[in-house]
Amino acid sequence: MTAEHLDGNTLAGPLGELFAVDVTTATGRCANCGLTGPIGSLHVYGPDPGLVGRCPGCEEVVLRLVRGPGRAWLDMRGTVTLRVDLPD
């Protein structure tokens, strides 16, 4: 079966509205199975009614992003940690 989901890097633009850094290169840890990897490696479904990023290991929801007029909702309950590399 061909992949139904979008590339994880699809998240770069929508998340770029919220974060000062490129979150797709940050390292996330799946709250369900513990798999660690870049946010850009998530299996993304959407964009409507919202973007749903799922763990490539267990398919559980890692993050959800809904963009309404004038506001956005970001749910990251499926992420234990997000490691962002920054300059010293």
The residues that touch another protein, with contacts defined as CB under 8 A, are 4-5, 43, 45-46, 48-50, 52, 54, 59-61, 64, 66, 68-69, 71-73, 75
Enumerate residues 6+ apart whose C-beta is below 8 A from 8.
24, 38, 39, 40, 41, 42, 43, 44, 53
33 binds, among Zn ion, another protein, none (CB under 5 to 8 A by kind): Zn ion
Residue 54 tokens, joined:
């799922």
Measured distance CA(46)–CA(54) in Å, rounded = 11
SS3 13: helix
Contact (CB, 8 A) for 72 and 17: yes
Choice from 7, 32, 47, 66 touching Zn ion (CB under 5 A): 32
Binding partner of 8, given another protein, Zn ion, none, CB within 5-8 angstroms per partner class: none
37 lines the binding site for Zn ion (CB under 5 A)? no
Q: Is 57 in the site for Zn ion (CB under 5 A)?
A: yes
> Residues interacting with Zn ion, by CB under 5 A?
30, 32-33, 35, 55, 57-58
